[in-house]
Amino acid sequence: MTEHKKSARLFPHIVLWFAIIIILFPLYFVFVASTRTSADILSAPMPMYPGPHLIRNYGQALLEGTKNLGASAFTMMKNSFIMAMGISSGKIIVSLLAAFAIVFFNFPGRKFCFWAIFITLMLPVEVRIMPTYKVISDLGMLNSYAGLILPMIVSATAVFLFRQFFLSVPREITEASQIDGATSMQFFRSILVPMTRTPVAAMFVIQFIYGWNQYLWPLLITTKVEYYTLLIGINRMLSGADVQIEWQIVMATTLLALIPPVLVVVIMQKQFVAGMTDTEK
């Protein structure tokens, strides 16, 4: 660009490396802890380089979990994955349909629907979590994937994003499909949805991470170990009564909980960045 001095060229690299180190720092120690024994960790200071128990700890975490958790990281990962996929795809489908109705139809109650969805932006989870539990249990959905997923799949953000996108679809395309004699649902399926690929991909990344990282809700409704997600597992491992925390296993599980969403972000970085800046701005 405009500067040519060597120091000026180096400066951004130094800053960025510094930032990267700070950002990776906590992760390094988690990794070190996950390769050591509980006694190593408790006799502070823990050595600052990895120990020899990597395979044993991760093996235990993946296949067994801590002694009485009764859920292996493998099972919990499966649950986290089902929950994240369910929430993200559920949100996308429900929102696509709603946005389609709101943009392409004029019906009494349209404004009402729009505002009803809009207002959900303003109801923090804390406000509704206890009564929601009652609703789910009345529906007989405690301990089911449906119970984990359904209350989380309303997304005003997704409806807005799709609505905005639909509004920008050239009117001519819609009219042309009308002239060809396509019904509204045919138009939706074969023209509109394929056009919406990019925003859908973006939404998917954001909502997958949102779903994977759900904490308060599964904390309340998972009463059987078969439905524990990774974050709940970590919480449970940290909170047993009168027992020593098996830090090395907790740390291994923490890393395992981190990897999938990080991979999704890294792999789908482009869609993710585009999605974030489109939806929320």
Please list every residue from 242 through 281 that binds another protein, using CB under 8 A.
242-244, 246-247, 250-251, 254, 257-258, 261-262, 264-266, 269, 272-273, 276-277, 280-281
Nearer to another protein, 54 or 258 (CB): 258
Assess 29 for contact with another protein (CB under 8 A).
Answer: yes
d(CA 99, CA 89): 15
In this structure, the dihedral spanned by the alpha carbons of residues 184, 186, 189 and 195, taken in order and rounded to 10 degrees, is -80
Count residues binding another protein (CB under 8 A). Answer: 133
Assess 154 for contact with another protein (CB under 8 A).
Answer: yes
End-to-end CA distance of the chain: 29
Q: How far is the CB of 278 from another protein (least distance, A)?
A: 9
Nearer to another protein, 121 or 197 (CB): 121
Assess 191 for contact with another protein (CB under 8 A).
Answer: no
Q: How far is the CB of 42 from another protein (least distance, A)?
A: 5
Assess 120 for contact with another protein (CB under 8 A).
Answer: yes
d(CA 165, CA 278): 10
204: CB partners within 8 A, 6+ apart: 88, 89, 92, 268, 271
Q: Which pair of tokens denotes residue 68? A: 């009485």
Q: Which of 78, 81, 133, 146 binds another protein (CB under 8 A)?
A: 133
Handedness of CA 239, 242, 247, 252 (dihedral sign): negative
113: CB partners within 8 A, 6+ apart: 98, 101, 102
Assess 87 for contact with another protein (CB under 8 A).
Answer: no
Assess 61 for contact with another protein (CB under 8 A).
Answer: no
Assess 63 for contact with another protein (CB under 8 A).
Answer: no
Name the one range near another protein by CB under 8 A: 42-50, 51-59, 81-89, 193-201: 42-50
DSSP state of 132: H
147: CB partners within 8 A, 6+ apart: 136, 139, 141, 221
Q: How far is the CB of 197 from another protein (least distance, A)?
A: 19
